[in-house]
Amino acid sequence: MNPRAARLELRNEGVVPSVNALANQLTDTREGPRDECGVFGIVAPGREVSKYSYLALYALQHRGQEAAGIAAADLGGNILTLRDTGLVAQVFDQNTLGSLHGDLAIGHVRYSTTGSGAWENAQPVYRSDRRELALAHNGNLT
């Protein structure tokens, strides 16, 4: 088999993406805003990370305006998560930020590409089985 035929065979099997597929990925033709979720993380021992997270999410507000959330924890401590629908300034105030103690935090502002704008889709998500976990992401987990 000649080299050109081998390349075409690989391309047809999906091993090597076609030039058209790459061009489509690089030239997004959607109309309107193309923002996706905003995600932030911080580790700052001795600092008020919830307030830094608030300011970071406020700056990232253009990335998502449906929901906002922060999960904070001390190194080796328990995780406290607060999330709700609405803008960052609507979800958090001085009292709620004061309750989010810790040396590390993750934050998220949501722009839904799939799913509804319901509270269940707000992040960070929290799970506590044998270990605690808070997760904020920009994408779809299947």
How deeply is 49 buried, as exposed, middle or buried, from its count of CB atoms within 10 A (0-12, 13-18, 19+)? buried
Q: How far apart are CA 116 and CA 120, in angstroms?
A: 9
Which tokens belong to 113? 């590409």
State how far the Cα of 105 lies from the Cα of 50, in Å rounded to an integer.
7
Separation between Cα atoms, residue 88 and residue 65, nearest integer Å: 8
Q: Which of 22, 37, 111, 114 is catalytic?
A: 37
* Cα distance between residue 6 and residue 117, in whole Å: 47
Residues 6+ apart with CB under 8 A from 53: 40, 42, 70, 72, 100, 105, 106, 107
- In the residue annotation, 73 being an active-site residue is answered as no
Active site residues: 37
